[in-house]
Amino acid sequence: MRAALSTLEVARPRDLAHALKLLHASLDAGRLVPLAGGTDLFVTLNSGLVPGRRFLDLWSLRELRGVRDQAGRLVLGALTTFSEIREHALVRRRYPALAAAAAEIGAWQVQNRGTLGGNIANASPAGDSLPVLLALEAVVHARSVRGTREVPFTALFRGYRDLALEPDELITAVSLPDPDAPPPLRAGAARRGAHPPRAQQFFRQVGTRRAQSISKVALAGLLRLGRDGRVDLARVALGSVAPVTLRAGRAERVLLGARPSAAVAAAARAALLEDIAPIDDIRSDREYRRRVSGNLLEQFLRVADPRFARR
Ligand SMILES: Cc1cc2nc3c(=O)[nH]c(=O)nc-3n(C[C@H](O)[C@H](O)[C@H](O)COP(=O)(O)OP(=O)(O)OC[C@H]3O[C@@H](n4cnc5c(N)ncnc54)[C@H](O)[C@@H]3O)c2cc1C
């Protein structure tokens, strides 16, 4: 049954410090539920599955906004919307997989209102930004009245919809390393030769239809080829194929050192099936998800290496 709006309370904090105080103080008397764009929370209101009656409206907190380059890391405030991500010049240039995922999330209305922090905190295995953030080795910045912490994306999801965050912590930002930054030089060493080749990025989600559908499978990846044509960096992350978004470590190990080809793709697909654990649910079934995961991996390799078809 729908939750009547008149029975709900919304607290509007003055600033982040005030929001954190209110959230902390609420823990004993029914936790305030953080409210960002509301695109997930309003669905729960409509279905009667609302997680609380008292909300903490984050929308006006300037501390959670903005996208900035900080010494080569891109820092995106938790309230950055998918429209902002999709249109941001530096994101499009340096993190095309994230821009691609942002452009696939819902329709424009949802992209204008839905936030990166909300997608992460909602912790759905079908959240489309999550495989990209995992492949890009993002770090989540969390803050409470006790201070700030950085949680690597790899350590964020403990289990199905179970985040490694305290109930009085807010996500304030997400930061991303530059995937094409050259490795740091040893003291006194001079950099020699040309800049190493860029890693190719990939994102694709498969749903019931091409647009505006929740993912049955999503795959994000980074692949870099060395000058000898062999893979020297491989990251593959998938959503909707396990209780949490995951990195496909076995498939990545098959790819490392290989020259992508049909035979390598077949071996990587076989390894991928050991990495994932899809289930049957209302959106799809296990067998379909296994097959599509392999197809997406092969598509990623074909796109990332133009010599794939000639080997
Ligand atoms: C029609 C429709 C289509 C959609 N399509 C897609 C899609 O294709 N792909 C996809 O991934 N998602 C989709 N979504 C889901 C949703 O839009 C995204 O998950 C969005 O990113 C949620 O962000 P929000 O700001 O609206 O979160 P909210 O609804 O405000 O909050 C979501 C959860 O996160 C918590 N939260 C929010 N911000 C913070 C914070 N800073 N710190 C701690 N906790 C926080 C809230 O308490 C709540 O539990 C769709 C939703 C709708 C309604």
CATH of the domain at 48: 3.30.43
pLDDT band of 56, cuts 50, 70, 90: very high
Q: How many domains does the chain have?
A: 3
Choose among 165, 177, 179: nearest CA to 138.
Answer: 177
Residue 237 is part of a domain; what is its CATH number?
3.30.390.50
Assigned domain for 156 exists: yes
Question: Which residue's CA lies nearest to atom 27 of ligand 1?
Answer: 118
From 32, 65, 122, the mutation candidate for ligand 1 (largest count of ligand atoms within 8 A of CB) is 122
Assigned domain for 187 exists: no
Same domain, yes or no, for 11 and 82? no
Residue 270 structural domain: 200-310
Same domain, yes or no, for 155 and 245? no
pLDDT band of 183, cuts 50, 70, 90: low
70 CA from centroid of ligand 1 (Å): 26
32 CA from centroid of ligand 1 (Å): 17
Question: Residue 32: exposed, middle, or buried by beta-carbon count in 10 A (0-12, 13-18, 19+)?
Answer: buried
Q: Average pLDDT for residues 132-152, to the nearest whole number? A: 98
CB 184 within 8 A of CB 172: no
Residue 121 is part of a domain; what is its CATH number?
3.30.465.10
Strand order in the sheet with 147-152: 67-70, 73-77, 170-176, 139-144, 147-152
Tokens, residue 174: 């997400």
Out of 119-123, 177-181, 185-189, 253-257, which region has the weakest mean confidence (pLDDT)? 185-189
Using CA atoms, how far apart are residues 24 and 167, in angstroms rounded to an integer?
8
Same domain, yes or no, for 150 and 235? no
Residue 113: predicted pLDDT: 97
Question: Which residue's CA lies nearest to atom 47 of ligand 1?
Answer: 34
Assigned domain for 181 exists: no
Residue 197: predicted pLDDT: 77
Question: Which residue's CA lies nearest to atom 2 of ligand 1?
Answer: 106
Q: Counting atoms of ligand 1 from 1, which one is nearest the CA of 121?
A: 34
Tell me: pLDDT of 97 over 90: yes
Residue 190: predicted pLDDT: 66
User: What are φ and ψ of residue 142, in 5° steps?
Assistant: -115, 145
Residue 48: predicted pLDDT: 80
User: What are φ and ψ of residue 12, in 5° steps?
Assistant: -115, 100
Residue 194: predicted pLDDT: 61
**CA dihedral over 10, 16, 18, 22, signed as positive or negative:** positive
Tell me: pLDDT of 296 over 80: yes
Residue 284: predicted pLDDT: 87
Assigned domain for 188 exists: no
Same domain, yes or no, for 83 and 98? yes
116 CA from centroid of ligand 1 (Å): 8
Q: Average pLDDT for residues 41-59, to the nearest whole number? A: 89
Question: Residue 241: exposed, middle, or buried by beta-carbon count in 10 A (0-12, 13-18, 19+)?
Answer: buried
Same domain, yes or no, for 74 and 101? yes
Q: Counting atoms of ligand 1 from 1, which one is nearest the CA of 128?
A: 11
Assigned domain for 194 exists: no
Of 176, 210, 235, which residue is a domain's last? Answer: 176
pLDDT band of 61, cuts 50, 70, 90: very high
36 CA from centroid of ligand 1 (Å): 8
Residue 14: predicted pLDDT: 97
- Mean pLDDT of the residues in the chain: 93
Of 34, 57, 80, which residue is a domain's last? Answer: 57
Assigned domain for 26 exists: yes
Question: Which residue's CA lies nearest to atom 15 of ligand 1?
Answer: 40
43 CA from centroid of ligand 1 (Å): 10
Q: Counting atoms of ligand 1 from 1, which one is nearest the CA of 104?
A: 8
Residue 283: predicted pLDDT: 84
Count CA within 13 A, CB hemisphere, residue 223. 31
Assigned domain for 192 exists: no
Same domain, yes or no, for 131 and 218? no
Same domain, yes or no, for 44 and 68? no
Same domain, yes or no, for 91 and 31? no
- Ligand 1 pocket, CB under 6 A: 33-41, 43, 58, 78, 105-106, 110, 113-115, 117-119, 121-122, 127-128, 170-171, 214
**CA dihedral over 39, 214, 179, 138, signed as positive or negative:** positive
Question: Which residue's CA lies nearest to atom 3 of ligand 1?
Answer: 106
Same domain, yes or no, for 49 and 109? no
Assigned domain for 195 exists: no
Residue 6: predicted pLDDT: 76
Residue 47: predicted pLDDT: 86
Q: Counting atoms of ligand 1 from 1, which one is nearest the CA of 110?
A: 17
Question: Which residue's CA lies nearest to atom 28 of ligand 1?
Answer: 38
305 CA from centroid of ligand 1 (Å): 34
Same domain, yes or no, for 91 and 137? yes
Q: Counting atoms of ligand 1 from 1, which one is nearest the CA of 35?
A: 30
Question: Which residue's CA lies nearest to atom 50 of ligand 1?
Answer: 106
Could you give the angle at which helices 286-304 and 262-275 cross, rounded to 10 degrees?
Answer: 140
